[in-house]
Amino acid sequence: MKKLTFKVVIAVMAILMLPIQAVQACCGFIFGRQLTADGSTMFGRTEDYPYYPNGGKHNKNYVVVEGKNYKEGDQIVDESNGFTYPHAANEMKYTATYDSARGDGSNGAFGEHGFNEAGVSMTSTVTAIPNKKVLAKDPLKADGLPEAAMLDVILPRAKSAREAIELLAKVIEEKGSAEGNTVVVADQKETWYMEILSGHQYVAVKVPEDKYAVFANTYYLGHVDLNDKENVIASKDVEKVAQEAGNYKTDKDGNFHIAKSYGPEKYAEGDRSRTYAGITLLDPKSKITYEDDEYELFRSPTDPNKKFTLEDAFALQRNRFEHLNGRFIPDDQIGVKKQGDNGANDAVRKDQYKYALGNENVIDAHVYQIDPKLPKSFGGKVWLGLGPSRNTPYVPFYGNVQDTYQAFKPQTATYDPNSWYWTVWHIDQMAIKNQDIFGKTVQDHWKMLEKQFIIDQEKKDIEYYSLKDQPEAAKAAEHKVTKDALDLSDRLFQHFKDYEKLMEKQLEAAGRKSDPYRASQPDDKQDSSTPEKPDTPKTPEKPKATEEVNKNVLPAEYYVAAPPTHDIPANAEGNPNNRFGYAATANVQVFGQASTRTEAPQAQGQASQEPSQAPQTTVANAEGNPNNRFGFAGNYEGGKDFKNIGTFSNGN
């Protein structure tokens, strides 16, 4: 049904000659090491999933893929579009964060981000949309390299960040690209940023250590010295293709401008809102305006003494325009169906409502912290927010873990109480749909935990710094690293279940109901017979005094006393964060600490005990793939009447 629905939508759009565009999906950032308080490089991305009928509810699996030897003729076969590429004879171990739907013939792997055992880290991709003129000259390839397979091609074999970019370039030249994409790859020595501009054109640059960047679903590179082979890796015809396409653009000094030549004439609204919000959050004194024609990619803070922290990275990915003093409000707060990058629905919604970084479609947020003082094989740490960034905690894991916790592995398509993703997704849904009860207390609780995680990780880092020049000892430490990661994950997941249960109790006390099984169903499958919100909600009751925190779940230092009350403005109807129009409620008890949990999670939705971790090789026809996110036939070589890409409604 998913496949049929998707094909019908695309077919109708093609017949009507309507623009078929990639949805606003994903936003990345980079902090150069000279701009961070601890001297580490940080980069990351939010993975958005706005695709009907599963917008904002798409399970992810954080796993370890073991190194493996392959014989000649063995190939990677991606099920999202049929892309193939030979396996290397000896492939390294790496981590990945796959779509749970991989292997069913309809989706693709979408590993998205990870570390390999050589200490190389990668996030792929932030989708970007080439313009029509360029694509008429150098079309995307229907069976070219897709986002879905990129991580599995690069991480098993790249031993440095530069080698990863060189391999990406080689694959694009040989096989072509299925999509326009932006990729970030790093090791302990350098970080690279790459824009894949069309079917065979690309430019990658070494990121300056004294700059930061925020980038959404478009191109940002301006003028680049293509002759600087030390710091730039580019396709040989990148200027020629722009010229022959009749879209060669220059900067004010007459130099070739990459983004203007290959990207849209102006930023899509969702790209502008996230870029502007990110820059102004990180640099409040920046002179940029919302209406600027272009935003420079690599930037210096206005304050020369500014140093970024992990908390800055988390705040960036959670940002919902709070720092703009009411100028903008996240568009998910008025139930607007986002029509997309072409601005089709701008006329029917107030200009105040914009697409936020911490939006309703985020399914995976991650921050990579690359510390050169750690052993090379550690790579660094990923701070994993596996769920909606607005109400999900970031949890640290070293890059050399040998295994991940069982709750990261269920390949379930709807709510599963044994799944990490689905549990934090449900917590977020309760928080965002009942803000008059929970306010920001859920996010504040996770922030409190994160502060303790940061303290604990600093202690662990110091312990492992001593192994920097002892590769054998660093290798032996993987067992302890993994044990610690599994132990933290287990205790934290139990805490999630306690937290989820007490939130449900508070909703029941208010006369409201949360049904994650129903809510997680595809939008075209949900039973609408029972409303999720009663017409007349009650004032929530205070939790009973007997509901105490299970001190065995997390150490005592992870807990603080629950705040007594949460005051809601009298005119709740006018509160921009009151999405569902609940009547004003004064002095409401907020959610505090979790109740004691002694039983196992519910049996419903029980996942298979040991789901596949590595991507499957089942090939699905690209045209019939409901989650072939950007592989619409009109984009490709030989496709008819290509229309430059924008969004369609996800029905949320």
The angle formed by the CA atoms of residues 514, 340 and 99, to the nearest 5 degrees, is 55
Amino acid at 57: K
With CA atoms as reference, report the closest residue to 142 among 95, 65, 81, 89.
Answer: 81
> How far is 605 from 168, CA to CA, in rounded Å?
39
Contact 364, 460 (CB under 8 A): no
State how far the Cα of 396 lies from the Cα of 391, in Å rounded to an integer: 16
SS (H, E, C) 536-576: CCCCCCCCCCCCCCCCCCCCHHHCCCCCCCECCCCCHHHCC
Q: Where are the alpha helices (DSSP H) in 196-257?
A: 238-244
Written in H, E and C, the secondary structure of 167-191 is HHHHHHHHHCECCCEEEEEECCCCE
- Asked if 26 and 49 count as a contact pair (C-beta separation under 8 A), the reply is no
Q: Of 10, 20, 26, 169, which one is the catalytic site residue?
A: 26
Cα 335 → chain centroid: 22
State the burial class of residue 229 (Cβ atoms within 10 Å of its Cβ: 0-12, 13-18, 19+): exposed
Distance from the Cα of residue 317 to its chain's centroid: 9
Q: Is omega for the bond preceding 563 within 30 degrees of 0, making it cis?
A: no
Q: Where in 417-459 does DSSP place strands (E)?
A: none
What's the token pair of residue 106? 């309809």
Bridge partner list, 63: 96
Cα atoms in the 13 Å half-sphere on the side-chain side of 75: 10
Q: Is 26 a catalytic residue?
A: yes
**Other beta carbons less than 10 A from residue 134's beta carbon:** 24
The phi, psi pair for 588, rounded to 5°, reads: -85, 135
* Tally of CB atoms within 10 A around 597: 19
Nearest to residue 362, comparing CAs of 408, 319, 312, 410? 319
Triad 4, 113, 42: Cα angle to 5°: 140
Residues contacting 214, CB < 8 A, separation 6+: 27, 28, 29, 274, 275, 278, 279, 282, 316
Count of CB atoms situated within 10 Å of the CB of 89:
11
Catalytic residue ranges = 26
